[in-house]
């Protein structure tokens, strides 16, 4: 059995550090390990349109930006196929067949979709495409026979939905589809990075992001304006770690080397947390520490981005090649799916042989 990986992002803007810790870092690790047959990264423009139908320009404009983000963090197009979802119409066809295997009430129970419907303030006007996007995500994953899907934890309900579809399909039509497994980050703090405003999730749609492409000035403004602990007013006041965004980011990004380099009064984050809780450590101090760590992380990414911004033809060719390859694979899977469903009337004359006028 082949070992394939599929993952992706919605081109609703540039990628942010939440994407990095939640899923991009796992992708880089997988890429370096090389223990796979095919590795696909999908720019999910069709999915992004499900809640951005009236703003197609935003989606179109973000495609190249997301591709540049991938290349800037070190995704290697020789090892990974980057492709654009809408170019692969086979995915839509699979979605249509899978939709028969899912009930409306099952979709209504999806906690991530529920949460998103609330935060996007759809009210009674939920687009059907948006409501059913977990089905289209199942098509994306299964079209590439992916057994590993590196994601942040908001995507777990989608993987579960995909597994249910795979089981139903294979039971009814025969063993064609591959059961996928999510790959979450090792560090729990990276499952869902909060927004700079203290919201539980950094998300392009919520405008609370630190982007991989942010300049030092933008980064500084965001870090210094970050939500911390509203009860920590004077430096001497005891501080709270729970719900404190700066500490959530330090949990995700800081290492003991960072302490040795920038904050030698403490050996590691546990020591800093204890001291903060006792009082006497100002928010400005911890924000400056975080700023140094994030700047060290973002600087090389920013520099690589500059290169690709000057070599857009390279980016374009990478996307085109990746998309063509992905299409050839999705085509094969769709053929297998339709054969299993006996939707292959004109492949031979079996339809007539089977015909019985009674």
Contact residues toward ligand ATP (CB under 6 A) are 9-10, 12, 18-19, 21-23, 151-152, 154-155, 192-193, 201-205
Structure tokens at 354: 């089977």
| 142 versus 155: smaller Cβ distance to ligand ATP | 155
Report helix angle 156-173 to 312-340, nearest 10.
40
CB of 24 to ligand ATP, least distance (A): 8
| 20 versus 97: smaller Cβ distance to ligand ATP | 20
| 86 versus 205: smaller Cβ distance to ligand ATP | 205
Could you tell me if 137 and 158 are in contact, meaning their C-beta atoms sit under 8 angstroms apart? yes
Structure tokens at 81: 């196929």
CB of 266 to ligand ATP, least distance (A): 26
CB of 345 to ligand ATP, least distance (A): 39
| 113 versus 178: smaller Cβ distance to ligand ATP | 113
Q: How far apart are the first and last CA of the chain?
A: 43
| 204 versus 338: smaller Cβ distance to ligand ATP | 204
The whole-angstrom separation of Cα 143 and Cα 139 is 6
What percent of the residues of the chain are helix, what percent strand, and what percent coil, each to the nearest 5? 60, 5, 35
**DSSP H or E run through 40:** strand 38-43
CB of 260 to ligand ATP, least distance (A): 27
Q: How far is CA 37 from CA 32, 78, 166, in A?
A: 13, 13, 21
User: Which residue number has the CB closest to ligand ATP?
Assistant: 22
Non-local CB neighbours of 251 within 8 Å, separated by 6+ positions? 187, 189, 269
The whole-angstrom separation of Cα 22 and Cα 192 is 6
| 44 versus 88: smaller Cβ distance to ligand ATP | 44
70 C-beta neighbours (distance < 10 Å), count = 24
CB of 218 to ligand ATP, least distance (A): 17
Three-state DSSP at 16 gives strand
CB of 313 to ligand ATP, least distance (A): 26
The whole-angstrom separation of Cα 275 and Cα 247 is 13
CB of 80 to ligand ATP, least distance (A): 15
| 196 versus 327: smaller Cβ distance to ligand ATP | 196
């Amino acid at each position: 059995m082949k070992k394939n990986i599929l993952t992706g992002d919605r081109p609703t803007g540039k990628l942010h550090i939440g994407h990095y810790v939640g899923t991009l870092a796992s992708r880089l690790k997988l890429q370096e390990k090389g223990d796979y047959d095919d590795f696909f990264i999908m720019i999910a423009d069709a999915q992004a349109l499900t809640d951005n139908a009236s703003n197609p320009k935003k989606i179109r404009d973000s495609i190249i930006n997301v591709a540049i983000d991938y290349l800037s963090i070190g995704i290697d197009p020789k090892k990974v196929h980057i492709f654009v979802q809408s170019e692969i119409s086979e995915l839509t066809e699979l979605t249509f067949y899978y939709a028969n295997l899912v009930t409306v009430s099952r979709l209504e129970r999806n906690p991530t979709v529920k949460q998103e419907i609330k935060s996007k303030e759809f009210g009674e006007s939920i687009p059907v495409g948006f409501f059913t996007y977990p089905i289209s995500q199942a098509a994306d994953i299964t079209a590439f026979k992916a057994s590993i899907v590196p994601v942040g934890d908001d995507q777990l309900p989608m993987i579960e939905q995909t597994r249910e579809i795979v089981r139903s399909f294979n039971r009814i039509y025969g063993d064609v589809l591959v059961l996928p497994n999510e790959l979450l980050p090792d560090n729990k703090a990276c499952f869902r990075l909060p927004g700079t405003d203290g919201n539980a999730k950094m998300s392009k749609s919520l405008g609370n992001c630190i982007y991989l492409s942010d300049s030092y000035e933008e980064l500084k403004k965001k870090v210094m304006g970050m939500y911390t602990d509203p009860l920590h007013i004077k430096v001497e006041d005891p501080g709270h770690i729970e719900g404190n965004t700066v500490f959530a980011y330090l949990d995700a990004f800081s290492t003991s080397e960072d302490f040795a380099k920038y904050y030698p009064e403490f050996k590691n984050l546990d020591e800093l947390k204890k001291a903060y809780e006792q009082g006497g450590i100002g928010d400005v101090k911890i924000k400056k520490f975080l700023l140094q760590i994030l700047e060290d992380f973002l600087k090389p990414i920013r520099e690589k981005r500059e290169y690709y911004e000057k070599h857009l033809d390279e980016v374009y060719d990478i996307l085109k090649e990746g998309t063509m390859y992905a299409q050839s694979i999705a085509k094969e899977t769709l053929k297998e799916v339709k054969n299993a469903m006996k939707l292959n009337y004109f492949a031979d004359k079996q339809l007539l042989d089977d015909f019985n006028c009674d």
